[in-house]
């Protein structure tokens, strides 16, 4: 069991250390990727399955003397807070997915459209909505 004080400290550190990471919707998931270094941290699938990068987070949480059984629920909660979306299950990945990261980063706009005029009510709905994938 992690104390609320330690949890707050960990969440603040994650916020600070991952503040430059882009959150990119792609296919059936949402990815957390450092574009500059082409380095991924998380993939949250539509099903609620959260994949996390083993090599990064095992080292990251060794600073807090925590193993994966202790920190896995915390990273799930942190992602829930960031995305305002439920994480149902967390799972590590130890395989290389460099090509998948390239695909996510190279995803292009497939079509464009325009709207004449704006609707303030619609803007409020968008701002108050939760992320759905």
- Strands 39-45 and 29-34, sheet pairing: antiparallel
Task: With beta carbons less than 8 A apart as the criterion, state whether 90 and 43 touch.
Answer: no
Residue 59, pLDDT score: 93
DSSP 8-state assignment for residue 53: E
DSSP 8-state assignment for residue 81: H
pLDDT digits (tens, 9 = 90+) for 43-98: 999 999 999 988 899 999 999 999 989 999 999 999 999 999 999 998 886 555 55
Whether pTM > 0.75 for this model: the answer is no
Q: Is the dihedral of CA 54, 58, 61, 67 positive or negative?
A: positive
| Better pLDDT: 115 or 39 | 39
Is residue 5 over pLDDT 90?
yes
Q: Which distant-in-sequence residues (6+ apart) come within 8 Å of 60 by Cβ?
A: 17
Q: Which of 46, 50, 52, 48 is nearest to 28 (CA)?
A: 46
Alpha carbon distance 117, 32 (integer Å): 33
pLDDT digits (tens, 9 = 90+) for 12-36: 999 999 999 999 888 888 989 888 8
């Amino acid at each position: 069991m992690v104390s609320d004080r330690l949890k707050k400290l960990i969440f603040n550190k994650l916020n600070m250390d991952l503040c430059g990471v882009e959150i990119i919707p792609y296919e059936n998931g949402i990815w957390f990727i450092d574009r500059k270094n082409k380095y991924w941290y998380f993939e949250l699938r539509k099903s609620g399955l959260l994949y996390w990068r083993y090599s990064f987070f095992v080292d990251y949480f060794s600073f807090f003397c925590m193993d994966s059984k202790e920190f896995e629920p915390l990273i799930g909660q942190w992602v829930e807070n960031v995305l305002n979306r439920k994480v149902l299950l967390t799972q590590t990945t130890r395989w290389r997915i460099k090509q998948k990261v390239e695909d996510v980063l190279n995803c292009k706009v497939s079509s464009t459209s325009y709207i004449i005029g704006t609707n303030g009510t619609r803007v409020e709905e968008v701002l108050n909505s939760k992320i759905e994938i």
